[in-house]
Structure 1
């Protein structure tokens, strides 16, 4: 029967890491630099380091929970099995908001980008073309997608290396700060620390997606070792790359308030160090990065839907089945593609406002799940256990909640509305909370 088919375990550490890099998008450091420079008063590298430290707490918790429950359901399963089935369902519902809208953001950005470059071709042509390509890749399976991710990540790394080399040449020639070593990108005694914190809150969004790789646990070889390592590697390496890009951007353009347009600061910086040729390469790479992020986010969402369908929290016959040949959740891939057609009618700002609320709600729940599972239920209460199973995740949870509360009002209104819809569906599913929601059977996923 189709509902008992299992996914093929083909992914090793490197492919899983590549999916994480692709989901996050290594070029994000360029696109956010100008706005982050305004918010942090130019101290973008320092703010990025603070954001990285915050995200590492949550990445640690994801790694710990992926050892306990190596399932494709990610935060949904962690909350379900550690806290309660009802909380798990709401967390899964919140994740759906994040994952369902992330592919749409990429399609919208792709359409905006190419419509500006080729105004004679309508926006919807680019959106539909990219959607079809992404859907085809994800139906074919992760082996094919892994090859695409590898190419995209290699191109991104090469561009960043080229950018750094051009920046070094520019600084040595006397431009910018005129020195390759400076503490000003990380600390400025003339600026209050509050600007760094504000910048870190903004730049934390660059890390959204590091947790997506836990959704591939059921297709990963030895997931209890591979997934935790991958989560830490993706978060740490991406954060260091983002910091390097921000550092050298500061060195070549230290006056943050002199950009003609903060939104397009990357254009001014890259053009300064490498001319129009390097910027043309960046634009092409950005388009590829958007493709990779859409592909990874759609694949992750399809697997969360598959896990919830297999559990019976969504209609099992549709969401909980795999393709007999490709061993992929094809129905889920297709339904996400159909949902993403809303990109033809919605604005980028409206869609983006949905995403952040679900992400930080899921992050906070995973930190809480570590405390409940290890410290409370498993009684890991030695000095070491007190630190790594209570103090560390507690810090991560508090920081995630602070970031959630500091989201803009639109994100909070839309996010709360989505969660209320989840409660209504859960009320119907459990006949007025009189029954327990269906739970994951762990033997199916280990």
Structure 2
């Protein structure tokens, strides 16, 4: 990846952490911490909830779906890795679009990402509440949902290192449960054999259909939303020893670690998804055709597989893991949302009060509390509605996907149009982001009508907010 030719320290050039009186975020996160935040947000067993849906859509070729989805999202991960080196700021795609496309595009990117970062944690909190209610039905799911919000918010307010340490323990638990599933599934396959052909998860049941696989990919890529949150912690990543002596024109160490963490998180998640779906598909009691004919059975298809192949004990273990894991996926999402609000407030795009950094904890406390209030209201409201989960789930993705589209455009804008690299490359800086943009647009087109309408309305509101803001405001997104 090529560094900007004359931008040895980009943050100071366009309003970095020290540019405002609110204070600077503390560089305390290691490479491991960054990967933990990304994997927490994604969740190692994310395919559990949509296993049946993807089996039905892909005609049984679910593992190849996740392999293709990982490759598709790699274009977005690569664009993040390019731009985090250019604009290593807490605002993530907000900062990238500012420097690559200009101030207005930066605001739109941040505004659309805000929709995703505020509502995805609400969905995760609701998943946690539903799972806990199934285990303790005497307590309503909205109460469990609210408890999950309060506990994880307190951890985020305590400090990023504390939240990362607790998150690492939760992630280790989730991976341990996944390992138990893998070992149990392999044992069953060795002793009893598979219910499908060994190649079925890759080739499908019956005739292979690329169209069916691509249709399923448009859903599967949503499992990866969250790896991009790593970039929100760019100002809190530790500098490396290599960067301490970096001279003019060399990249800072922290952005390099963030870029590597984004790519690592995607690869690890892709491997975990492929392994678990391959094993589950071999043991599934219902064929892809049967799942397609019975949509009501799709949501519990993974749990039905575990029950029939291994036993109810593993079902309960997976359910508890999902309940705890969902809450801490929301913790990572809430932390990323707080950093986005902080960055936009620091740039005077949101109320300035949210640009303050707490002196004791080193976190943007007011921005975190603002994000927590919104997610609490959305999650509790949904938990009290019969179709609340469907309503929330249908609209959380368009914001992130629109921000991804602007991210890819930013790579082209910074490196190719504005020629801010010593040697801009046609493949790296044009072809790869164009392919990523094509994937994102295809997924948006496949999104539900409700999601498209909500995304359009949210975009329209953002454009109105942008129009009424001070027209003569200095364009700080134009570096150099």
TM-score in terms of structure 1 length: 0.93
Match of 1:283 in 2: 319
Work out whether residues 313 and 437 of structure 1, in 8 Å CA contact, stay in contact via their aligned partners in 2: no
The more displaced of 90-99 and 149-158 is: 149-158
**CA separation in 1, counterparts of 2:234 and 2:151?**
24
**CA separation in 1, counterparts of 2:42 and 2:201?**
23
Report the alpha carbon displacement of residue 279 of structure 1 after superposing the two structures with TM. 1.3
Match of 1:349 in 2: 390
Work out whether residues 218 and 442 of structure 2, in 8 Å CA contact, stay in contact via their aligned partners in 1: no
Work out whether residues 59 and 209 of structure 2, in 8 Å CA contact, stay in contact via their aligned partners in 1: no
Out of 200, 212, 221, the residue aligned to residue 184 of structure 1 is 200
Cα 1:328/1:379, change in 2 over 3 Å: closer
2:243 is the counterpart of 1:208: no
Aligned 1:27-426 pairs, distance under 5 A: 27-177=45-195, 182-188=198-204, 190-221=207-238, 222-253=253-284, 255-258=287-290, 261-316=297-352, 318-339=353-374, 340-346=376-382, 347-378=388-419, 385-426=425-466
Cα 1:178/1:83, change in 2 over 3 Å: closer
Work out whether residues 93 and 403 of structure 2, in 8 Å CA contact, stay in contact via their aligned partners in 1: yes
Residues 252-294 of structure 1, C-alpha deviations (whole Å, 9 max, x = no match): 2272344671100111111233211111111111111111111
Cα 1:176/1:70, change in 2 over 3 Å: same
Report the alpha carbon displacement of residue 114 of structure 1 after superposing the two structures with TM. 2.0
**CA separation in 2, counterparts of 1:350 and 1:437?**
39
Show structure 1 runs of 4+ deviating over 3 A: 257-260, 379-382, 436-443
Work out whether residues 132 and 320 of structure 2, in 8 Å CA contact, stay in contact via their aligned partners in 1: no
Report the alpha carbon displacement of residue 3 of structure 1 after superposing the two structures with TM. 2.7
Report the alpha carbon displacement of residue 302 of structure 1 after superposing the two structures with TM. 0.2
Report the alpha carbon displacement of residue 158 of structure 1 after superposing the two structures with TM. 1.5
**CA separation in 2, counterparts of 1:23 and 1:288?**
12
Work out whether residues 99 and 479 of structure 2, in 8 Å CA contact, stay in contact via their aligned partners in 1: no
Report the alpha carbon displacement of residue 329 of structure 1 after superposing the two structures with TM. 0.9
Task: Provide the secondary structure at the position in 2 that maps to 1:233.
Answer: helix
Out of 7, 14, 28, the residue aligned to residue 10 of structure 1 is 28
Work out whether residues 79 and 365 of structure 1, in 8 Å CA contact, stay in contact via their aligned partners in 2: yes
Work out whether residues 98 and 478 of structure 2, in 8 Å CA contact, stay in contact via their aligned partners in 1: no
Residues 199-248 of structure 1, C-alpha deviations (whole Å, 9 max, x = no match): 11110110011100100000001322111100000011101110111111
Report the alpha carbon displacement of residue 57 of structure 1 after superposing the two structures with TM. 0.6
**CA separation in 1, counterparts of 2:267 and 2:232?**
19
The more displaced of 253-262 and 360-369 is: 253-262
**CA separation in 1, counterparts of 2:475 and 2:363?**
22
Work out whether residues 5 and 322 of structure 1, in 8 Å CA contact, stay in contact via their aligned partners in 2: yes
Report the alpha carbon displacement of residue 437 of structure 1 after superposing the two structures with TM. 6.3
Work out whether residues 429 and 437 of structure 1, in 8 Å CA contact, stay in contact via their aligned partners in 2: no
**CA separation in 2, counterparts of 1:368 and 1:3?**
31
Work out whether residues 139 and 333 of structure 1, in 8 Å CA contact, stay in contact via their aligned partners in 2: yes
Work out whether residues 59 and 232 of structure 1, in 8 Å CA contact, stay in contact via their aligned partners in 2: yes
**CA separation in 2, counterparts of 1:379 and 1:14?**
31
Work out whether residues 61 and 366 of structure 1, in 8 Å CA contact, stay in contact via their aligned partners in 2: yes
Q: Which runs of 5+ in 1 are unaligned?
A: none
TM-score in terms of structure 2 length: 0.87
Report the alpha carbon displacement of residue 441 of structure 1 after superposing the two structures with TM. 9.7
Number of equivalenced pairs: 436
Aligned 1:422-441 pairs, distance under 5 A: 422-430=462-470, 434-436=471-473, 439=476
Report the alpha carbon displacement of residue 381 of structure 1 after superposing the two structures with TM. 8.7
Work out whether residues 311 and 438 of structure 1, in 8 Å CA contact, stay in contact via their aligned partners in 2: no
Match of 2:8 in 1: none
Report the alpha carbon displacement of residue 251 of structure 1 after superposing the two structures with TM. 1.6
Cα 1:437/1:300, change in 2 over 3 Å: farther
Aligned CA-pair RMSD: 2.0
Task: Provide the secondary structure at the position in 1 that maps to 2:203.
Answer: coil
Work out whether residues 119 and 378 of structure 2, in 8 Å CA contact, stay in contact via their aligned partners in 1: no
**CA separation in 1, counterparts of 2:278 and 2:56?**
15
**CA separation in 1, counterparts of 2:478 and 2:452?**
33
Report the alpha carbon displacement of residue 404 of structure 1 after superposing the two structures with TM. 1.1
